[in-house]
């Protein structure tokens, strides 16, 4: 899911993408494709968002059952498109599709 970076040091891997600092609770994480990233990296954020969409949100919504989430995967991705743009929605949809194919 993330682009492979060559010769990335541990400190660079753990650097926060927002502020540029290494946070005390940052840790190194290995994504399913084998890429090692920091827990504050954009690649890890994208992976965890796609994993949440895939595991928590239903494909369709039964509006009569109030105990289930009232938003479907498609609705969430359309909301991402409205807020972050078409490219972000396409990346999220592609990441969810990768997780779905890997789960088969």
The three-class DSSP label of residue 17 is coil
pLDDT value at position 4? 43
pLDDT value at position 99? 92
Task: Write out the H or E segment, with its range, that includes residue 49.
Answer: helix 42-56
pLDDT value at position 10? 58
Q: Are 60 and 70 in contact (CB under 8 A)?
A: no
Q: Are 31 and 1 in contact (CB under 8 A)?
A: yes
The Cα–Cα gap between 86 and 70 comes to: 23
Which range of 17-26, 56-65, 70-79, 89-98 scores highest in mean pLDDT? It is: 89-98
pLDDT value at position 67? 67
């Amino acid at each position: 899911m993330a682009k492979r970076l060559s010769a990335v040091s541990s400190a660079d891997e753990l650097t926060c993408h927002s502020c540029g600092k290494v946070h005390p609770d940052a840790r190194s994480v290995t994504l399913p494709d084998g890429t090692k990233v920091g827990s504050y990296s954009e690649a890890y954020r994208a992976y965890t968002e796609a994993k949440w969409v895939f595991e928590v949100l239903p494909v369709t919504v039964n509006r009569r059952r109030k105990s289930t989430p009232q938003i479907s995967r498609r609705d969430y991705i359309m909301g991402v498109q409205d807020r972050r743009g078409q490219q972000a929605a396409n990346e999220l949809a592609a990441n969810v599709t990768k997780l779905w194919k890997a789960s088969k």
